[in-house]
Structure 1
């Protein structure tokens, strides 16, 4: 998204947030804003597609008479095409622009009830079609009856109309597939209202710079990518970032797979896919607890990426020891730290020619007991660990803890080293969060791809070295970033002290002469 367009988006989002702020928590008004953004997108997409179909007849979709016989025939034809291609259908009177125009009317501008019907109609239009699972329940978080919108129906209506009018000012530029309206809106809202948004039970929104690193790691050297999977996909932006990186290589991702436990975020992920022109047949996003109820069992993926909730709780039930994902390790991750449970799950779904990159807290590098056992098994028995990358502290919204990226591959050779990169000191300090600059990202990726040893930045550790360190992966054990102080020149210091003594002696003499002239006693 261009700087000017992004500035326009942020200005309108601020106006909307300012309208809603004080009436509800940041998490809540974020969901309203993103839901209405999606409604606007679907409307504009529908209008654009319908106009293409009707172009030969010289008809504009928005001007169709829905009550005439001819209009009904056109609508039926457009509906059939739209359900097959877009996966949903909207009538002209249900379009966002039409709803805003009605809301602006000084008389009869009450749209609240009809707007609720329209949002339900979008979902209902998919019933019995291939896209039903992808659109079902998408707008369930937009409660237009909530008392938080106002005490009376009129107050609720006025507030929603204000939001839609502000949103109408945003140009989605549908023809530009590089524009990430939902992702940019999501990150902006969390950045502005981080205290209340983006953090739920250890879940942290992945900043775009970190997403870029993960995406570039798993697409490195790939000329094509059949599938990408994120077991904790959140709003789906990380999956889409992988597609963006592949597009830079002149290629595409064929299929997107993800799982998300939080219902609201799961809805956002499906919205995000649609907003980025991912056909409903090409993505499979499920809502469930990935560790307890994995929805993509038996499948393997060429690229696996994730930013799981840090040190989350999970059942660690002994029944999992018979689960193929965990059984080979002989131990389960602790109940209060599911980090390695997510790693084990992801490893089980990684294809033999695939690459996996996951963001984790630093504790996974050195904690002992069951985690130490699992870490040793991954390194010694499997030889899957390919790289350990230390990131700067305070780059995630809602937490200041330092994090790392672990990269895994199943196709490593027995004598392959593990690359350690310490990028923790390379960033731009920000007011609320630190930022990874473009040059910081490039340095990480180029170092990983070239697998070069760089003084005080990157080091190749043999499996023997890691074994000697008892499989402790703490980065300072391998990358020495200690800066030696310059040796003290004692001769120079001695000369400086002598010069000071001489100046003090001269000063004492001057003071004594001055006191003598005044006829007073010398103070020393």
Structure 2
């Protein structure tokens, strides 16, 4: 599929999504359209797999046309179930496939669409039920709970709701997701496009589920530097899972781990994984508060990426000082700012030879009290901090503050200094948002990978230099971006002022003559 065809698919899906837009808020119609796209994907995946099984067994029949009520049909459905549920993790009968329910909803009876809402709700529930007792049960549990087909926002009456949903399904059914092309992730790209579109319209809520692609790319390229394979990647605040999936574009990843507190976003992350072709056995996404109820404490990871909520509140309960994630520091991050609590949590999970890249507000670089003690311990006692990269302001949805990327390694190759990069001016201004272009991303990543020192852009600060600054990591202390202003020739400026005054006096005389001719007082 060409780039133009990909863009066309993305636009088609966005147009269909906007069918719901007038009825509800962006984050609400997001849940419906992404849920329906996911249902269509599951259906097409089953359809494609079942047809291949039937073809290989010599059966000249399309799975959608199998009569489930006949003895032969029952045997076929049972055989397909046995083959696919372990591999794909779920099952759909022929009558439950997206195309069949979409066609049924489009058909008219007495001038009205066939009523499909009850049947559709049952099908979505059956998908979850088909996983009970299997290894994929946790990955499909309550996956469609945000698709409330009884919501009044879909319409005032049952007929209005049914008509709207039938229309959305019918238009989606017209789109070919091209699942037979195993080398292309066309649908995955389109899904990411839609998530980004919803994020751009969600304001402050966007930060709950989406990291801008440009930032994700920097983080991903950094943690995969000179690596083609990773055993595992982890994101403790994974949102929609987009950051984890971005890492997989840079290197082959065996297993994905994540945790997300928001239930709706957690469902979106699991859908996103499956829709990108990640088998249920290769991801472990959990729903809980990462700091208060961590779910993967027994594991360490090759790569960790994260964009935690900036300066979020947390309990800072003194009992956490007994927690191995925090105990060695002697201090907890303040309850009003959990930034360092997230860093400590991630450090705990980082493999000895792993790498971690996390987005943080600038306050973590210089704030005092407990945060200074934690920062000093990480640098002086552990020497884990590898680099600090300052990003431009206004590149995140929902906040205009400048941010930075902190990179940590437990076994650093260059352990005598810390690299500072000031990329705050590396952006292109677009309407209300600043954007990092490919050349900006390349410059940042290349500078980090090569640990280059570039005038007014990067600096390698020795550990002694940082100690002399009392472990204040504020980037301007290390990267001098001062631009000397051009000297002003006072004599020339004075001469220009005198010349202008003379011209003004001459104009005043000319204007006075015109006023007298008109009989007016100047």
Which residue does 1:217 correspond to in 2? 222
Match of 1:351 in 2: 351
Alignment match, 1:71: 73
Residue 362 and residue 7 in structure 1: after superposition, are their counterparts in 2 closer, same or farther (change >3 A)? farther
**Offset of residue 498 of structure 1:** 6.7
1:424 alignment partner in structure 2: 424
SS at match of 1:375: helix
* Shift of residue 181, structure 1, vs aligned partner: 2.7
In structure 2, how many angstroms separate the alpha carbons of the residues matched to 1:384 and 1:401? 26
Equivalent residues of 2:43, 2:98 under 8 A apart = yes
> Is 1:93–2:95 an aligned residue pair?
yes
Q: Which residue of structure 2 lines up, in the alignment, with residue 20 of structure 1?
A: 20
CA distance, structure 2, for counterparts of residue 187 and residue 170 of structure 1? 20
Equivalent pair of 1:394/1:402 in contact (CA under 8 Å): yes
1:299-338 → structure 2 map (5 Å cutoff): 299-338=299-338
Give yes or no for contact 1:427–1:435 (8 Å, CA) kept in 2: yes
Q: Structure 1, residues 74-119: CA drift from partner, whole Å, max 9, x if none?
A: 1111111111211111111111111110011011611111000100
Q: How does 1:356-505 map to 2 (within 5 A)?
A: 356-412=356-412, 415-490=415-490, 492-493=492-493, 496=496
Which of residues 234, 242, 248 in structure 2 aligns to 1:237?
242
Q: Distance in 1 between matches of 2:20 and 2:420?
A: 46
Q: CA deviation at 1:197?
A: 4.7
CA contact 2:192–2:242 (8 Å) conserved in 1: yes
Counterpart CA distance in 2 for 1:437 and 1:275 is 27
Aligned partners of 1:25 and 1:360: how far apart in 2? Answer: 29
Is 1:60 the counterpart of 2:62 in the alignment?
A: yes
Specify which of 99, 117, 123 is matched with residue 122 of structure 2.
117
The CA deviation at 1:220 is 0.4
Distance 1:373 1:8 in 2: 52
Aligned length: 510
**Distance in 1 (alpha carbons) for counterparts of 2:356 and 2:279:** 25
Deviations 1:405-439 (A, max 9, x none): 10001112684211111111111112232211111
The 8 Å contact of residues 10 and 185 in structure 1, kept in 2 or not, is answered as no
Counterparts of 2:132 and 2:507, CA distance in 1: 96
- Show structure 2 runs of 5+ residues with no match: none
Residue 494 of structure 1 and its aligned partner are, at CA, apart by 5.7
> Whole-Å Cα distance in 1 between the matches of residues 501 and 106 of structure 2?
84
- From the superposition, tell whether residues 366 and 210 of structure 1 become closer, same or farther in structure 2 (CA, over 3 Å): same
CA contact (8 A) 2:383 2:415 kept: no
**How far did residue 12 of structure 1 move?**
3.4
Contact in 2 for aligned 1:9/1:170 (Cα 8 Å): no
Q: Which residue of 1 aligns with 2:11?
A: 10
- Counterpart in 2 of 1:339? 339
Contact 2:418 2:461 in 1 (8 A): yes
Shift of 1:326: 0.2
Secondary structure of 2:428 counterpart: coil
Say whether the 8 Å CA contact 1:26–1:196 is kept in structure 2. Answer: no
Relative to structure 1, the CA distance from residue 3 to residue 326 in structure 2 (aligned partners, 3 Å threshold; closer, same or farther) is farther
Give, in angstroms, the shift of residue 455 of structure 1: 1.0
In 2, the alpha carbon distance for the partners of 1:241 and 1:234 equals 13
Q: CA deviation at 1:45?
A: 0.8
3-state SS, counterpart of residue 198 of structure 1 = helix
Equivalent positions of 1:95-174 (< 5 A) are 95-107=97-109, 109-174=114-179
Residues 114-137 of structure 1: CA deviation (Å, up to 9, x unaligned):
000100111111111111111111
Please report the TM-score for the alignment, with normalisation by the length of structure 1.
0.92
For 1:388 and 1:239, how far apart are their aligned partners in 2? 21
2:356–2:408 Cα contact (<8 Å) kept: yes
1:187 corresponds to = 196
Question: Following TM superposition, by how much is the alpha carbon of 1:182 offset from its aligned partner in structure 2, in angstroms?
Answer: 2.2
Contact 2:209 2:238 in 1 (8 A): no
What is the aligned-residue RMSD (CA, Å)?
Answer: 2.4
Post-superposition offset of 1:507 = 7.5
- Secondary structure of 2:259's counterpart equals strand
> Do residues 264 (structure 1) and 264 (structure 2) align?
yes
